[in-house]
Amino acid sequence: MSLKKLSICSFVILAVLISQLFCETPNVSAYSKPSLLKDNAVYYIKNKNSGKYLDADHSIDKNGTNVIQWHYNGGAGQKWKLVHTGDGLYKLVSQVGTKKRVLDINKNDNKNRSNIDIWTDNNSGDRRFRIIMNKDGYSYRIVSKCSNFTKAVTVESASCNDKANVFQFQYNASNNDEWIFEPVNGYSRELATNYATKNVYSSVPAYPNLRNMGGDCANFVSQCMLAGGIHYQDNWYIQKDDNKNPSPLNVNQLDASWRLADPSPWISAKQFNLFWSKKYQTETVTGKFITEHPDIIFNAPTYKGDIIQIAGKSFWGGVGSAKHTMIITNYGVYKGQINYQLSYHSADTSDKNLLEMAETHPNDYFIVYSIK
């Protein structure tokens, strides 16, 4: 090859690399189906920024019903069936009424700000999408066929408000055009542990980062459970009102931007224990007992995605208040013994051996929750 041709080729390669660095448009040829999501499964679809859900307004089963975001209510308008239609394309079937209407780009329009509604399915490009995992490894962009997969389902103005409109807009890797799929039926240990491993050293905009308020462990594990399909219930919930205090320093800042119960099992290890110990089977043993009987928990019906808390001793010597919350994310070997590995926030840690923790907390209690 001549030096001139080599120079031209080098310039072309450099141009391609630069375009890849600064452009976040989907690579259509490299598309692969979302392996963690199940065909024909029903999901709640949460916006990564606002924490609110894709919603067919008022659950009206009618062509042209507008699609908005709304806080979780568990209604049919927030449930979407993911159906693969071939060639890597999906339709999102609204579960309102007859369950025959799908997510639709109004008028099959390729423009930015084209509105999104639901409409009877007719196999057209405005009702077909690709679901592409983002670089974070746990959220997805929903890009339309009618835009040649360059425009994504987006919350207007990155709003955190209920009823904020949803339209299509050029995908730019912003939090308001990325979504988290939460299964409606059953607990997905795979989704829960994937969320944990991808976020153990980071924070998700849909939730407060509470590391500056003394601890983020219950908040983090609550997020993992929600990602796996354990839905908001009773006092276990959190809502985002605005983008002003992503990492609150005190209760006033927390209350200014976030809505939660008081006291809250979402963010407090103690309240988490009081709430979930009434709903799930638990097993409680001391760290010393685990160290002396290293197979005791592994032989129990406990799996990845289950939760373990550490509690101190009460004044009377029994189980005291829970003080740390962790999720089982893996299996490993410690000193020749197979054991669970735990991930958690506050002292952000991934895949910490349970047996090692038991050695350092011999007099504390370990509470194991079997999540279903």
Query: Do residues 117 and 201 share a domain?
Result: no
The answer to whether residues 242 and 173 belong to one domain is no
Residue 194 lies in a domain: yes
Are residues 173 and 265 located together in one domain of the fold?
A: no
Render 70-139 in DSSP notation, one character per residue. E-----GGG-EEEEEEETTEEEEEE-STTS-EEEEEGGG--STT-BEEEEE--S-GGG-EEEEE-TTSS-
pLDDT at site 299: 74
At residue 357 the predicted structure's pLDDT band, cuts being 50, 70 and 90, is: very high
**Is the model's pLDDT at 280 over the cut of 90?**
yes
CA pair distance 152, 178, nearest whole angstrom: 8
Q: Give the model's pLDDT for residue 244.
A: 98
pLDDT at 39: 97
Rounded Cα distance, 303 and 325, in Å? 16
CATH, residue 176: 2.80.10.50
Kindly report, residue by residue over 216-254, the tens digit of the pLDDT. 999 999 999 999 999 999 999 999 999 999 999 999 999
Task: Say if 10 falls within a structural domain.
Answer: no
- Indicate the residue among 167, 183, 199 that finishes a domain: 183
Decide which of 155, 183, 211 is a domain's last residue: 183
* 191 and 331 co-located in one domain: yes
Helix/strand/coil for 201: coil
Domain presence at residue 8: no
Assess whether 39 and 160 both reside in one domain: yes
Report the distance separating Cα 84 and Cα 82, nearest Å.
7
In the chain, the number of structural domains is: 2
> Residue 68 in contact with residue 57, Cβ under 8 Å?
yes
Rounded CA-CA distance 128/92 in Å is 8
pLDDT at 260 over 90: yes
Question: Residue 253 is inside which H or E element, if any?
Answer: helix 251-257
Whether 50 maps to a domain, the answer reads yes
Q: Are residues 158 and 41 both part of a single domain?
A: yes
Q: What is the CATH number of the domain that holds 361?
A: 3.90.1720
357 and 248 in one domain?
Answer: yes
pLDDT digit string (tens) for 70-93? Answer: 999 999 999 999 999 999 999 999
- Asked if the bond preceding 263 is cis, omega within 30° of 0, the reply is yes
Residue 17 domain-assigned (yes or no): no
pLDDT in tens, 148-182: 999 999 999 999 999 999 999 999 999 999 999 99
The DSSP code for 210 is -
Helix or strand or coil: residue 239?
strand
pTM, to two decimals: 0.91
| Angstrom distances, CA of residue 249 to CA of 94, 207, 221 | 40, 14, 20
Q: For residue 145, what are the domain limits? A: 31-183
* Distance separating alpha carbons of residues 188 and 225, to the nearest angstrom: 9
Place of tokens 């199940």: 38
pLDDT band per the 50, 70, 90 thresholds, residue 38: very high
Residues 175 and 245 in one domain: no
Residues 85 and 61 in one domain: yes
Greatest CA separation for the chain: 86
The tens digit of pLDDT for each residue in 98-132 reads 999 999 999 999 999 999 999 999 988 899 999 99
161 and 243 share one domain: no
Verify that 46 and 175 share a domain, yes or no.
yes
Give yes or no: residues 232 and 277 share one domain: yes
